[in-house]
Copies of this chain bind each other. A is one copy, B any other.
Amino acid sequence: MSKKASIVGAGLVGSLWAIYMAKKGYKVDVFERRPDMRRADISAGKSINLALSDRGLKALEGAGIGADIRNMAIPMKGRIMHDNKGNLTFQPYGKEGQAILSISRGGLNAKLMDLAESHEGVNFHFNAQCLKVDIAKAEAKFRMDGKESLVKSDLLFGTDGAFSAVRKSMMKTERFNYSQEFIEHGYKELSIPANEDGSHKLDKNALHIWPRGQFMLIALPNLDGSFTCTLFLPYEDERYGFNQLSNDDAVMGFFEEMFPDVIPLMPNLLDDFNENPTSSLVIIRCFPWTRGGKVALMGDSSHAIVPFYGQGMNAGFEDCTILNQFMEKYGEDWGSIFEAYEEERKPNADAIADLAMQNFVEMRDLTADPDFLLRKKIERKFSEDYPSLWMPLYEQVTFSHIPYAEANDRGKMQRAVMDEIMKLDQIESRWDSEEVMAELRRRAESLPRL
């Protein structure tokens, strides 16, 4: 008889992991607190679209469903920065042919559930609220259809997000380290609808950013011609904070001052602003992620991060890749699998949490800084000439499978090298000269190899 695995949370990571476990021969049940999103119109309370990149794609391919997902997405080849006067600057994310994929969270989630259900025989239970978990026994109590029921399994996975019920039960076990840290910014979703002919009002193959120092607006394209926009702004600030935007005049005045080119693109600005909630952003860290070879946390339940590197989903999907690798190594020795998994993933989760906060500063501030843009140009040219010596940090994170912690470490060394290069005489005019490239090469050769 096949062993039984229960997964708490039918979000992106839970639905994908269900496919992995089913393919390995486990009998898989997924329990989800909400109704079936494929039947009800619910947004899961989170952002409408996401950036899928190489780590996420690899995990989808590992489950044999990469092709099913790719054609649901719009490639974004780089950032387009919008300044106060409406001037645009394009900055590619990677090399020719590289792109991150804008994809609908709901569409992707529904597709993963469909594939799990119809191809792999996974059983989904909706409106099933996890009340508590006996961590030592991997027994979970759910409220389903108004009554409580106890579910016993050989293995239990908590993929129930940043405010995980499984983790809450784990917190009551001995010496469990935990932190939740809310950043000072909140976010609000807005939208740019499609043109009447269904086309996009802005270049659809880019992620648009309106960087304004302490805050920013971004826009990601949807397949239907619209863009989903997100305003990231401090909750409280003396000049520019959500606290200052308490009436329509204040909102319009703020947009006229800061995002004048956006106003004609957003006919529903005030309605969106008033109707959509202001949501918070939290960083969750904890350890251990597993207990007794029976229970494991995956995705946001173990490592929720801020969205500024577009890596939240990708990191969660990479958990599946890594956990699957250890299943292949250790068979059914779940004690060893879980130990190896949490040892491998924890430093990488911490690194992407830090990188995501750093990238917030880059997106909202540095993308408008000439010095920063010059650095990026120099790095790009050099890495094209010497790909074995230099991969810009963004590419390491987004277009490679280098562990996040290693990328973070190498990124710091590269920044120190670039600090020196930027001090060279007349770097603004000589940046692509042979001497500058030779100097950069000399320094790059002393770094650990990729």
A residues whose Cβ falls under 8 Å from a Cβ of B: 174-182, 235, 280, 282
Instruction: Determine if A178 and B175 form an interchain contact, defined as CB atoms under 8 angstroms apart.
Output: no
**Within 8 Å CB of A280, what residues of B?**
174-175
A402 to B181 Cα, complex, angstroms: 29
Contact between A180 and B177 (Cβ–Cβ < 8 Å)? yes
Q: How far is the CB of A364 from the nearest CB of chain B, in Å?
A: 20
Task: Enumerate chain B residues within 8 angstroms of A176, measured Cβ to Cβ.
Answer: 180, 182
Quick one: closest B residue to A182, CB to CB?
Answer: B175
Distance A174 CA – B180 CA, assembled complex (angstroms): 12
5 contacts between A and B (CB under 8 A): A175-B235, A177-B180, A178-B179, A179-B179, A179-B181
Q: Is A180 a contact partner of B182 (Cβ separation < 8 A)?
A: no
Question: What 9 pairs across the A-B complex have the smallest Cβ distances?
Answer: A179-B179, A175-B182, A175-B280, A177-B181, A178-B180, A177-B182, A177-B180, A178-B179, A174-B280
Interface of A is mostly: strand
Q: Which of A177, A280, A282 has the most CB of B within 10 A?
A: A177
Q: How far is the CA of A179 from the CA of B175 in the complex (A)?
A: 12
In the complex, the chain B residue whose C-beta lies closest to that of A235 is B175
The closest CB in chain B to the CB of A183 belongs to B175
A235 vs B174: C-alpha distance in the bound complex, in angstroms? Answer: 12
Report the nearest B residue to A282, measured CB to CB: B175
Cβ contacts under 8 Å, A177 to chain B: 179-182
A182 proximity list for chain B (CB < 8 A): 175-177
A181 CA to B179 CA, complexed, in Å:
8
Q: What distance in Å separates the Cβ of A78 from its nearest Cβ neighbour in chain B?
A: 33
Give Cα A180 to B177, complex, Å.
Answer: 6
| A291, chain B: closest CB distance, angstroms | 15
Which residue in chain B gives the minimum CB-CB distance to A178? B180
| Central interface residue in A175, A178, A180, A280, by most chain B CB within 10 Å | A175
CA distance A175 to B283 in the complex (A): 11
Q: How far is the CB of A184 from chain B (nearest CB, A)?
A: 9
Give the residue name and chain of the B residue nearest to A179 (CB).
B179
**A180 near B180 (CB under 8 angstroms)?**
no
Given A175-B282, A179-B181: 15 more A-B contacts, CB < 8 Å: A174-B280, A175-B182, A175-B235, A175-B280, A176-B180, A176-B182, A177-B179, A177-B180, A177-B181, A177-B182, A178-B178, A178-B179, A178-B180, A179-B179, A179-B180
| A112–chain B nearest beta-carbon distance, Å | 31
A180 to chain B, nearest CB (A): 5
Nearest Cβ on chain B to A168's Cβ, whole angstroms:
10
- Kindly state the separation between the CA atoms of A235 and B177 in the bound complex, as whole angstroms: 15
Q: Whose C-beta in chain B lies nearest to the C-beta of A180?
A: B178
